[in-house]
Structure 1
């Protein structure tokens, strides 16, 4: 083969590889979801307020592809205890979940699914999830501690994938218990039973040592706990990939191969979240230095470098974290460090990029009692999007790697990628059967069929009209197609927003029209348990003892709720207005009981055989009985002799939802859940003498900074005198993510 032919063959191989990567990524979900909540811990009977960011899976810019969020809350036993649908507007959705008073204490999980974030056959994607701690009473809740586990696990990870005889590389290691919690370790590497070097973990049970193995030697690691572990297989020849250095502009790699091997052409491919960012090639003799300009990578995150030989076979892989500075820089400054109870407070917000330029950002802001902060939930928008959602396995305290107070965070993050992000290469493994197509929809889908054998021929294959109601009774109309299929689109769902959507065929009952509606929540349940569920873990911690305020008690000895809302306590009524009206109409039409005007008043035809006027013969106005009112009922013998007289309280016939739907030829399915406003007192409310025991002072899910990158939020403090935390998270819409925290105190005068 001449040189020209070889170059053409290499280019074809590169093009084939690039096409393979791009097609592989295009078949995976293109959106990622991050959940922000109003606080970390909730008491039963409260509302959980959330904001979900729908981000492009590659750029982390806001995505508007999907229009419907399917939200579930999962209890500690992995059962669904809440599921509703919410409307997504320009990549943002906010709403609330009612925390039922009957729920038991424990860790619950919010899980979200959209059309382009959750595919049926994707068994590698990580389901977007947010942990929520639920307690009965915050004052009596127990401090969460990581359970102790006696299982010990120790693993070693050669940089790039393999140990090669005579080639220097980095040997990383990690120690954990059976729960995934890190375990500090110390020990030594022995070569032919002779001490070679010591090892010691430096962060969360992880560490590394430079190491040059020899194929004719025996190696082992002996830890101080007495356990002994052999090293991975040492290859007699091959290539290794080492990251030798990283500065603000370049990544410096050293490629080495076994002495005496022929010179060969190699390729180093760099990609990020499925985007191919660079391809370097060169001739490898004994060693080769390659410098990769970081400007090739447009975003912050994990870059994946793969070394290919001249036949385009993957040889080694290295994950590197790049551009930690490319983020949204947010500052949140309270007007003062302390406020008095019921004082009007404010927090100034500023958002900039890494160069200090102002940024128009979409932010979610909450201010809550620090007692509701959960150190056992180490998650924020940076840690989740850039790390937890990108690599498999449970990560211990991912927020640590993004806290600038931690001077060793970059070195610690590299250790994490060496040990957890590391994998022996699987490029040649068979791809799983994967269709790469959404199975969720933004719409409500269904089909109408006619079951009458006496179908009117003009109705066969014709479009049919269906009336669609909202929970409030408001309605619109839609048409089926010629096959009976129909769709309630997101715009109609927003118009009818309020919970359930009701559908009524407009054909007469003689055609026996029936509707079949697709329940996508059932499809989600059948798939979600096969998806990875790697929620981060926190290191053991000890909560500082702090005096909690006593419950605020009013003058009539009533204990006030921790959060005051405008609406009544019935957060989720037994029936919406639509079903309530149907119930009333049904009782009027089907209820045969009536009241006469005799003295005393009698209730007729309510209990079988009990009536004051046999056979209903009564020439005056028959009145309807009143629910809950007491009446007299009487029973006569055939000879009109009184057999029994009773005093009863009238209770009209109640029908189940299923009975009411069937009676009225209706079908229903979940539409968009109803919206509520987070309650904040105004200047009039705050002057009232009623005690104010709000533990969440502010929840504002959509604050937009101005052209200067600035915004200011205002709120009133409650009667709780304690420390409060302000949390700000958000996006610029084009790929920059950021977060900030602030604290202040509320004191009594």
Structure 2
């Protein structure tokens, strides 16, 4: 072996070692760079609200006088697992139009779930209501978009007792027009109703702007007239029709030319139109209410027709073309006379483009291309779902490359695929909905059938994941008359979690994309992703950077504990150390002492609210400088509580409530009015006291009244009641006894019935320096008859046959529930939905008929 050969071989070995070390060091540097980049993004995603809350209700439509049952799922907003961060669920029910709060209570959250109940009071008017919930980790002072609400319809009667036929005098209206509404008022038998009272209100953008009252004539007809002085968008007429003991409520939207003002937007795939590169351009057309409009149009290049375009789904569509710098492009819509020419975004001369070319169960396949001058570009492809990075890969891009992104480890939901340049600056992005099959598959047997009145139904529930593994999970099930279903408000845990809370805007009919009957739903779902625009994902950097740096304690609106402090007025108490006596009159063993911090602040714990569930707990400040039994002393120190619902009302007015667009778009921000106790606010067990017949909320206040109202009545030795000649305490005087008869000073007789209470509830609390705090609201048990053991001669008119919010499947993924049909012969619908501990979600509906 010659020396030249050895030198040559040694040279290659040294070169190989050098290259290996170089690429190893380079790879290590790249890995460090990627780790820092990912950590930085995860820190940014920590700005997002930790929890979100889905509300499941026993049905969609309620009649006054009924019970509304609900279940709250408090979920980690990234992984959709039950959250243990929150302990108190602050709940409000409010009128959607007027924002009047008709119910608010605190409910206990146990391991991420709340099972609640609300009584729908007879005093409520028919209309739409919002059931909204707030927790310490779901609602903050900087909240701009609010999702944790569910629309409820309340009606006086589901079965109309009055028929109201109506017609407008014009097909469409505009501002300044005179509206004439023709009405015909009929009975259920379609007889004319004479002198029916028609109370008509004109509403615009959530405010009442006019009000008239009319009467029907002998033919049952009437006319309602309004001059439309405001814009017609989001305007309606509210009708209340009363005839004798029957009444009917109707809301009528005022028609206008919805297509006159079209909002037409285009969305380049990847974010930009790049000259010389093939581009997909998606578009979306909606009217002023946000409702989709099907459109047809032509794309022009330098004022010459290039191609035709048509919307495919809910006003959305997509077409493909290759733009060129220096050329002008615009779209003209057909059959529209106003604002029908729309320019395209500026064409970038150089750039990088991303296109989704193919997808299957295992991979997303993208084409990444560029027209940059550098022969090789180093890029990074990142995939994140709900603020968690699942994949990031460095790549070398020449003119074009095909990238395969594995789907195995990604959860179901919206994935953001972003291309970064070598300096880790974003240059292209694509939203893709992935792994729609990763969910809980729920089977309910028997799914459908025909049943007799009062027949027992046994449902067998079986839950599996996408790999056919049995799943233990937590589920809620309701079975109710289908007439109480709102066809336009099909919201479930899938649509709420995967779409509604993940995108910036409002989504039209999100349930379409999860209904397996819609065979083209995956294609249309991808079209929805294309029309969300550049960085529209709520978990993208641009959205997260708009949030505050961190979620600190001072940014919270409500807390897991009730906060309070001692307010001191007298100087003699400024240096005094106070404590608090926490007293539960129902369970005296739960009484406790709380010591305050150096600012005289305190917290009421979750357990103390739990101990007082369904009642009240009382707080009394204690100081060694004041006698605890000095009832007549004017206290110079008192307890001041922070009222969570006042804080909620103040901060929710700054947030936009985002609800899916179902029939009409509502862009207004809901501003809540200060809460006022209404007639439907429930009270606890009452105690009737003698005298003025004062009603107190509970027995404890009755006891306090007895203490405060200690009788000073007496009789003298001559049996004269409160004798003026012999004052109390003189020789021979004694206490007056109830039921005894005494002489009066004027010579008459009286049968003594005791002293009269002269204290109101507020008087008693102030007199004893007590603060009353309501505990958790106590939910009632859902009633179910058992016709196996008992018979009932009375009609069974239940329209909700079952509400069971606490179904837990076993290790085989199975559970069994049973219930009895009522005497209502109708089609019934069952809805079951829930989660497992790994964040998989599931929802299923079934129907059956109860025959006559």
- Which TM bucket (shorter chain)? 0.7 to 0.9
331-340 or 16-25, which deviates more: 331-340
What does the per-residue CA deviation read over 1:541-585, in whole Å, with 9 as the maximum and x for residues that have no partner? Answer: xxxxxxxxxxxxxxxxxxxxxxxxxxxx99823776783335434
Aligned to 2:165: none
Greater RCO, CA 8 A, separation 6+: 1
Counterparts in 2 of 1:661 and 1:743: CA distance versus 1, 3 Å: same
Instruction: Please give the alpha-carbon distance, in whole angstroms, between the structure 1 residues aligned to 2:725 and 2:364.
Output: 97
Aligned to 2:817: 713
Counterparts in 2 of 1:121 and 1:257: CA distance versus 1, 3 Å: same
Instruction: Please give the alpha-carbon distance, in whole angstroms, between the structure 2 residues aligned to 1:170 and 1:471.
Output: 69
Instruction: Please give the alpha-carbon distance, in whole angstroms, between the structure 2 residues aligned to 1:45 and 1:171.
Output: 53
Listed as ranges, the matches of 1:224-303 within 5 Å are 224=334, 225-226=336-337, 227-258=340-371, 260-297=373-410, 299-303=411-415
Listed as ranges, the matches of 1:283-432 within 5 Å are 283-297=396-410, 299-334=411-446, 337-420=449-532, 422-423=534-535, 427=541, 431-432=546-547
213-222 or 417-426, which deviates more: 417-426
Specify the structure having the higher radius of gyration (Cα): 2
Instruction: Please give the alpha-carbon distance, in whole angstroms, between the structure 2 residues aligned to 1:365 and 1:147.
Output: 38
What does the per-residue CA deviation read over 1:245-301, in whole Å, with 9 as the maximum and x for residues that have no partner? Answer: 11111111111212645431111111011111101221222212111111241x111
Say which of 48, 60, 65 aligns to 2:85. 65
Q: CA deviation at 1:592?
A: 8.7
Indicate conservation of the 8 Å contact 1:68/1:85, yes or no: yes
Indicate conservation of the 8 Å contact 2:711/2:755, yes or no: no
Structure 1: 5+ residue runs without aligned partners? 541-568, 606-610
Instruction: Please give the alpha-carbon distance, in whole angstroms, between the structure 1 residues aligned to 2:726 and 2:844.
Output: 78
Secondary structure of the residue aligned to 2:660 is: coil
Instruction: Please give the alpha-carbon distance, in whole angstroms, between the structure 2 residues aligned to 1:257 and 1:86.
Output: 56
Say which of 535, 560, 563 aligns to 1:442. 560
Listed as ranges, the matches of 1:512-591 within 5 Å are 512-538=636-662, 572-573=682-683, 579-585=697-703, 587-589=705-707
Secondary structure of the residue aligned to 1:401 is: helix
Say which of 462, 468, 490 aligns to 2:583. 468
Secondary structure of the residue aligned to 2:591 is: strand
Aligned to 1:565: none
Q: Does 1:175 align with 2:195?
A: no
Aligned to 1:19: 39
Instruction: Please give the alpha-carbon distance, in whole angstroms, between the structure 1 residues aligned to 2:846 and 2:534.
Output: 36
Q: CA deviation at 1:37?
A: 0.6
Aligned to 1:489: 605
78-87 or 130-139, which deviates more: 78-87
Aligned to 2:203: none
Aligned to 2:269: 159
Q: CA deviation at 1:444?
A: 2.1
Say which of 99, 104, 116 aligns to 1:95. 116
5-14 or 97-106, which deviates more: 5-14
Counterparts in 2 of 1:491 and 1:424: CA distance versus 1, 3 Å: closer
Instruction: Please give the alpha-carbon distance, in whole angstroms, between the structure 2 residues aligned to 1:163 and 1:183.
Output: 25
Q: CA deviation at 1:744?
A: 0.9
Secondary structure of the residue aligned to 1:734 is: coil
Aligned to 1:699: 803
Instruction: Please give the alpha-carbon distance, in whole angstroms, between the structure 2 residues aligned to 1:399 and 1:504.
Output: 52
Instruction: Please give the alpha-carbon distance, in whole angstroms, between the structure 1 residues aligned to 2:70 and 2:829.
Output: 17
Counterparts in 2 of 1:682 and 1:615: CA distance versus 1, 3 Å: farther
Indicate conservation of the 8 Å contact 1:85/1:672, yes or no: yes
Secondary structure of the residue aligned to 2:550 is: coil
Say which of 193, 198, 208 aligns to 2:318. 208
Q: Does 1:46 align with 2:66?
A: yes
Instruction: Please give the alpha-carbon distance, in whole angstroms, between the structure 1 residues aligned to 2:59 and 2:622.
Output: 47
Counterparts in 2 of 1:590 and 1:500: CA distance versus 1, 3 Å: closer
Q: Does 1:731 align with 2:835?
A: yes
What does the per-residue CA deviation read over 1:644-669, in whole Å, with 9 as the maximum and x for residues that have no partner? Answer: x9xxx999556544323212221123
Structure 2: 5+ residue runs without aligned partners? 1-18, 161-247, 628-634, 665-678, 688-695
Listed as ranges, the matches of 1:614-633 within 5 Å are 622=736
Instruction: Please give the alpha-carbon distance, in whole angstroms, between the structure 2 residues aligned to 1:370 and 1:488.
Output: 44
Instruction: Please give the alpha-carbon distance, in whole angstroms, between the structure 1 residues aligned to 2:407 and 2:253.
Output: 39
Q: CA deviation at 1:402?
A: 0.7
Instruction: Please give the alpha-carbon distance, in whole angstroms, between the structure 2 residues aligned to 1:404 and 1:145.
Output: 33
Instruction: Please give the alpha-carbon distance, in whole angstroms, between the structure 2 residues aligned to 1:148 and 1:624.
Output: 72
Query: TM-score under structure 1 normalisation?
Result: 0.84
Q: CA deviation at 1:303?
A: 0.5
Q: CA deviation at 1:413?
A: 0.8
What does the per-residue CA deviation read over 1:336-363, in whole Å, with 9 as the maximum and x for residues that have no partner? Answer: 6122112222222111111222111211
Counterparts in 2 of 1:335 and 1:319: CA distance versus 1, 3 Å: closer
Instruction: Please give the alpha-carbon distance, in whole angstroms, between the structure 2 residues aligned to 1:412 and 1:613.
Output: 97
Aligned to 1:132: 152
Counterparts in 2 of 1:698 and 1:20: CA distance versus 1, 3 Å: same
Indicate conservation of the 8 Å contact 1:391/1:421, yes or no: no
Instruction: Please give the alpha-carbon distance, in whole angstroms, between the structure 1 residues aligned to 2:383 and 2:597.
Output: 51
Instruction: Please give the alpha-carbon distance, in whole angstroms, between the structure 2 residues aligned to 1:432 and 1:60.
Output: 21
693-702 or 490-499, which deviates more: 490-499
Q: CA deviation at 1:10?
A: 5.3
What does the per-residue CA deviation read over 1:95-151, in whole Å, with 9 as the maximum and x for residues that have no partner? Answer: 11122221222211122222222233243x543111111111111277888775524
Counterparts in 2 of 1:476 and 1:614: CA distance versus 1, 3 Å: same
Instruction: Please give the alpha-carbon distance, in whole angstroms, between the structure 2 residues aligned to 1:507 and 1:405.
Output: 70
Secondary structure of the residue aligned to 1:36 is: strand
Indicate conservation of the 8 Å contact 1:686/1:716, yes or no: no
Instruction: Please give the alpha-carbon distance, in whole angstroms, between the structure 2 residues aligned to 1:49 and 1:737.
Output: 21
Instruction: Please give the alpha-carbon distance, in whole angstroms, between the structure 2 residues aligned to 1:666 and 1:332.
Output: 53
Instruction: Please give the alpha-carbon distance, in whole angstroms, between the structure 2 residues aligned to 1:281 and 1:82.
Output: 55
Indicate conservation of the 8 Å contact 1:362/1:704, yes or no: yes
Instruction: Please give the alpha-carbon distance, in whole angstroms, between the structure 2 residues aligned to 1:736 and 1:497.
Output: 32
Aligned to 1:551: none
Instruction: Please give the alpha-carbon distance, in whole angstroms, between the structure 1 residues aligned to 2:536 and 2:376.
Output: 24
Instruction: Please give the alpha-carbon distance, in whole angstroms, between the structure 2 residues aligned to 1:206 and 1:97.
Output: 40
Instruction: Please give the alpha-carbon distance, in whole angstroms, between the structure 2 residues aligned to 1:654 and 1:133.
Output: 44
Q: CA deviation at 1:365?
A: 0.6
Q: CA deviation at 1:590?
A: 5.2
Instruction: Please give the alpha-carbon distance, in whole angstroms, between the structure 2 residues aligned to 1:146 and 1:731.
Output: 38
Query: Number of residues paired by the alignment?
Result: 695
Indicate conservation of the 8 Å contact 1:469/1:503, yes or no: no
Q: CA-atom RMSD, angstroms?
A: 3.7
Q: CA deviation at 1:333?
A: 2.4
Instruction: Please give the alpha-carbon distance, in whole angstroms, between the structure 2 residues aligned to 1:354 and 1:625.
Output: 77
Q: CA deviation at 1:388?
A: 0.6
522-531 or 612-621, which deviates more: 612-621
166-175 or 250-259, which deviates more: 250-259
